[in-house]
Chain A
């Protein structure tokens, strides 16, 4: 709702907006900052997923006992890959939407206010 209202408002000609639209050095630096923040977020979350899921095959290979552990009658590999992987991915995705949108809000405020 909030974003819709903002989107319909007539853009205000702030200096920062001018810098962006005229592609000055200042505007360029602003964009570089935003890209770096969003990329760092995406990469950090990829590492979390990469470690969280990617280490499993190696762990199962190195510690065969893990595959014998049973939780609620289901062995650990089946439980992790068959069920728990999905809420994990969803949680990471949810966090990403939240933080990525916050980064964009911060950037928008920086441009609108300065």
Chain B
């Protein structure tokens, strides 16, 4: 595929700069407070860029374009939802949560509802969501290094895992803030700059149809290398040159692929002639350009259910992502938190205009990804495929650098949150050893998802991230929204809602990732659980709270005052909870 001599240096430079800025930050970090919330002294502009940088993950940088290329316009709900999630966060959570003065989600939970047991339950969800979100980042790193320099899958995952773990363990959050802000601008540059060249190349080629009425075809003779075994559907008999295994039989030479589904073994090289229709990896992807262009390209009602479930998960899940929330404590006050969120919304909107272009042009210039199923690589491959020459190689280096920035920044943020929770809620042996505990926790928090990432390879990056959103939307979203706006919430209600709602979503994730393939409604309910788990979580939380009305915290009035009173009033007793 698109090997570029500039990709490796670009990736190395991004990693080194990340470590260097991290090391610079170490000298600034003195106490645990510095480590966890950067002393709340980060300026709003840095903070907004840092939030954006932390949020734009492998799913945004690689996954969205890949899904758009494979499945079409319905997948635009992912980026729209990723951005809309920030609006929901701004409307319901940002300012009051900042005023609560709590460091982490478990802190908020305990301060609002006064229960140690509930705190530990919240901590467990932070760790689960954090790890679920970390796995696709490391997976994306493996895919990227595999695509741009041909390294084995595990190399990228281990490199990112190691850089981030060491950086977080040594620098904490202060340094992370600067790293994240730098990486937002790097990612925006890396994804937007090549788009101008891509569109020029497309113009220059006479604007080839993005959605031809029939299947995408190879413009020129193309050799496809299959890394992991894949089943792909051939529409019309095609004479190919093949070296490797086809349907379990070793082949070497000319073969006629009959119409139907064939299995291509790992390591197989297939050369297809110009004009041949692209064999399509087995799965629910729309077969032709016309269906790809239209919404609802799949199977009717499940499709619509899936879209609404995705909307619910992404709109409401953002506020429940641990690495997103912790960032808000670095704002000086509630008003600044709200304004920062608005800036973040603008920064994200600007970024999300671009992945779509890669997804659409990928069908013209890199159709072989539809055959291998590795559409997540389209952003990386496209500059080389569409532009070529030195320009294409330089741009390929740039997108590789951007992709690495995405893995490093999101993983750092997640790791800080997970490690913070592990060190306070699991190790938690008092402030004397807090910094050492945080470092141990960072190591544990980094190693577990690395191990998981090495086990799974081949899931779509954005879909795993979508599942993390579904769990967050079914656990922390109701907890935060009800905790901030409804006096009637009790710890029993919150615990029941977390266990039932969040637990169902988590179970659905485990079945979706580890379980047997399902069909029909069962598959839809498990693949996109948010549409039923979010209402369930809200209903249980409200129902059980009403039933345990006598356990409403006695200080709820004071808490509400602290969460909602304007910062400018400087009320007595506004010290952190």
Q: Which residues of A contact B (CB under 8 A)?
A: 3, 6-7, 11, 17, 20-21, 23, 27-28, 31-32, 34-35, 38-39, 41-42, 45-46, 49, 53-54, 57-58, 60-61, 64, 67, 75, 77-78, 81-83, 85-87, 89-90, 92-94, 96-97, 100-101, 104-105, 107-108, 111-112
Contacts and interface: CB of A to CB of B under 8 A. Distances in A.
B564 A93 contact: no
Size band of the B side of the interface? 35 or more
Contacts of B95: 100
Given A31-B557, A81-B76, A86-B353, A93 B304 contact: no
B296 A35 contact: no
Please list the 4 inter-chain residue pairs (A to B) with the smallest Cβ-Cβ separation, ordered nearest first: A86-B349, A81-B76, A104-B566, A42-B91
Contacts of B561: 20, 23, 27, 31
13 contacts: A23-B561, A32-B560, A53-B84, A53-B311, A61-B295, A77-B76, A86-B350, A86-B352, A87-B349, A89-B345, A93-B86, A93-B341, A100-B95
A111 B571 CA distance: 11
B24 interface: no
B294 interface: yes
Given A38-B564, A75-B293, A77-B73, 16 more contacts: A7-B568, A20-B565, A34-B565, A54-B308, A60-B294, A60-B296, A64-B294, A67-B294, A67-B295, A81-B73, A86-B350, A89-B86, A93-B86, A93-B342, A96-B338, A107-B565
A28 B557 contact: yes
B339 interface: yes
A108 B566 contact: yes
Interface string B88-103: 1011100100000000
A23 B342 CA distance: 33
A6 B304 CA distance: 51
B335 interface: yes
B296 A100 contact: no
B532 to A, nearest CB: 17
A58 B304 contact: yes
A108 B568 contact: yes
Interface of B: 73, 76-77, 80, 83-84, 86-88, 90-92, 95, 293-296, 304, 307-308, 311, 335, 338-339, 341-342, 345-346, 348-350, 352-353, 356, 485, 557-558, 560-561, 564-573
Nearest to A68: B294
B305 to A, nearest CB: 10
A3 B304 contact: no
Contacts of A97: 90, 338-339, 342
A20 B557 CA distance: 10
Contacts, number: 142
A94 B342 CA distance: 7
Contact of A57 (B308, B342, B566): B308
Q: Which of A58, A67, A90, A105 neighbours the largest number of chain B CB atoms within 10 Å of its CB?
A: A90
Contacts of A90: 342, 345-346, 349
Nearest to B562: A31
Given A11-B569, A35-B485, A93 B87 contact: yes
A81 B80 contact: yes
B307 A23 contact: no
Nearest to A18: B572
A85 to B, nearest CB: 5
A11 B77 CA distance: 48
A56 to B, nearest CB: 8
Given A27-B561, A77-B73, A81-B73, A105 B91 contact: no
B293 A81 contact: no
Given A7-B568, A21-B573, A49 B294 contact: no
Given A31-B561, A45-B91, A77-B73, A89 B569 contact: no
A57 B296 contact: yes
A3 B335 contact: yes
Nearest to B310: A57
Contacts of B350: 86
A90 B566 CA distance: 23
A61 B518 CA distance: 25
Nearest to B344: A93
A32 B557 CA distance: 9
Contacts of A41: 91
Nearest to B353: A83
B295 A60 contact: yes
A3 B345 CA distance: 23
A75 B119 CA distance: 49
Given A21-B573, A57-B308, A89-B83, A78 B91 contact: no
Contacts of B91: 41-42, 45-46, 96
A79 to B, nearest CB: 10
B557 A23 contact: yes
A67 B286 CA distance: 16
Contacts of A38: 564
B530 to A, nearest CB: 13
A87 to B, nearest CB: 7
Contacts of A64: 294
Contacts of A87: 349
B570 A11 contact: yes
B564 to A, nearest CB: 5
A72 B558 CA distance: 55
A23 B338 contact: no
Contacts of A77: 73, 76, 294-295
Nearest to A27: B561
A25 to B, nearest CB: 10
Contacts of B335: 3, 101, 104
Contacts of A58: 304
